[in-house]
Amino acid sequence: MNLRDLRYLVAVAEHRHFGRAAESCFVSQPTLSTQLKKLEETLGVVLLERSNRRVMLTPEGEQIVKQTQRILIEVNSLTTLSEQLRDPMGGDLRVGIIPTMAPYLLPKVLPRLREAFPNLRVQLTEAQTSNITRMLKQGDLDATLLALPLGEENIQEVALCDEPFVLAVPADHPKADWEEVFTEDLEGEEVLLLEDGHCFRDQALEVCQAHHGIESKNFSATSLETLRQLVAAGVGVTLIPQLAVPADAAKEGPVRYIPFTAKGSNSPRRTLGLCWRTTSTRRDLLEQAANTLRECMADL
**CATH code for the domain in which residue 72 is found:** 1.10.10.10
| Distance from the Cα of residue 299 to its chain's centroid | 22
188 and 245 in a single domain? The answer is yes
Report the b/e string of 85-101 with b at 16+ CB within 10 A: eeeebebebbbbbbbbb
How far apart, in whole angstroms, are the C-alpha atoms of residue 30 and residue 36?
10
- Residues near 214 by beta carbon (within 8 Å), at least 6 away in sequence: 188, 189, 190, 191, 208
Q: How do strand 48-50 and strand 55-57 relate by DSSP bridges?
A: antiparallel
Structural domain includes residue 38: yes
* pLDDT tens per residue, range 6-23: 999 999 998 888 888 888
Structural domain includes residue 86: no
How far apart, in whole angstroms, are the C-alpha atoms of residue 234 and residue 225?
15
Structural domain includes residue 222: yes
- Residue 69: give the domain boundaries: 3-80
- CATH number for the domain spanning 205: value is 3.40.190.10
Number of DSSP helices (H) and strands (E) in the chain, helices first: 9, 11
Contact (CB, 8 A) for 162 and 269: yes
Structural domain includes residue 171: yes
How far apart, in whole angstroms, are the C-alpha atoms of residue 207 and residue 227?
17
171 and 258 in a single domain? The answer is yes
| Total residue count of the chain as it appears in this document | 300
Structural domain includes residue 87: no
At residue 3, what are phi and psi to the nearest 5 degrees? -65, -35
Structural domain includes residue 88: no
How far apart, in whole angstroms, are the C-alpha atoms of residue 115 and residue 72?
32
Number of domains in the chain: 3
Cis-peptide into 118, omega within 30 deg: no
Element (H, E) at 271: strand 269-277
How far apart, in whole angstroms, are the C-alpha atoms of residue 271 and residue 276?
16
169 and 260 in a single domain? The answer is yes
CB-CB neighbours of 17 under 10 Å: 16
| Distance from the Cα of residue 246 to its chain's centroid | 21
Residues of the chain with pLDDT under 50: none
**pLDDT value at residue 263:** 67
174 and 265 in a single domain? The answer is yes
166 and 265 in a single domain? The answer is yes
Burial of 259 (0-12, 13-18, 19+ CB in 10 A): middle
Q: State the amino acid at position 33 in one-letter form.
A: S
178 half-sphere exposure, CB direction, 13 A CA radius: 18
Structural domain includes residue 85: no
Q: Pick the closest to residue 181 from 196, 200, 165, 204 (CA basis).
A: 165
Structural domain includes residue 149: yes
| Distance from the Cα of residue 265 to its chain's centroid | 27
**pLDDT value at residue 177:** 92
**pLDDT value at residue 212:** 86
263 and 167 in a single domain? The answer is yes
262 and 115 in a single domain? The answer is no
Contact (CB, 8 A) for 260 and 164: yes
**Final residue of a structural domain among 38, 53, 80:** 80
222 and 259 in a single domain? The answer is yes
146 and 282 in a single domain? The answer is yes
Q: State the amino acid at position 181 in one-letter form.
A: V
